[in-house]
Structure 1
Amino acid sequence: MPWSSYPDINARVDLLTYLVVSQLLRHRLIGKWLTTQHVVESTHLWMHVNGELNLLQRVALASRAQELAAHVIRVSKIRFDVKALADAFADYPRLDYKSPAVVEVYSACMAHVTLSFPGKSSAT
Structure 2
Amino acid sequence: MSTPLNLDLRGRAELLSYLVISQLLAKALTNEWLSPQHTVESTRLWLATNGGGADLLQRARLSSYAVNLAKQFAERLPTVLDRDIAVTLVTESLRIDFRTAIARDIYQECLNHLVSIGWIV
Shorter chain as denominator, the TM-score bin is: 0.7 to 0.9
Report if aligned partners of 1:89, 1:95 keep a CA contact under 8 Å in 2. Answer: yes
Counterpart residue number, 2:24: 24
Structure 1 residue 98 displacement after superposition: 1.3
The secondary structure found in structure 2 opposite 1:79 is: helix
- Paired residues, number: 115
Q: Note the C-alpha offset of 1:6.
A: 6.4
State the identity as a percent: 34
The more displaced of 36-45 and 53-62 is: 53-62
- Give 1:102 shift: 0.7
Aligned twin of 1:58: 59
Which ranges in structure 2 are unaligned for 5 or more consecutive residues? none
Kindly state the Cα deviation for residue 53 of structure 1 after the two structures are TM-superposed: 1.3
2:98 equivalent in structure 1: 97
| TM-score, normalised by the number of residues in structure 2 | 0.86
Q: Does the CA contact (< 8 Å) of 1:45 and 1:93 recur in 2? A: no
Q: Retained in 2: the 8 A contact 1:19–1:39? A: yes
1:46 matches 2:46: yes
Q: Which residue of 2 is the match for residue 33 of structure 1?
A: 33
Query: Residue 92 of structure 1: CA displacement?
Result: 2.0
Report the AA paired with residue 27 of structure 2. Answer: H
What is the deviation of 1:117? Answer: 1.6
User: Cα deviation per residue 1:14-60 (whole Å; 9 max; x = unaligned)?
Assistant: 00000000000111111110001100000000001112112211110
Q: TM-score, normalised by structure 1?
A: 0.84
Could you list the runs of 5+ residues in structure 1 that have no partner in the other structure? none
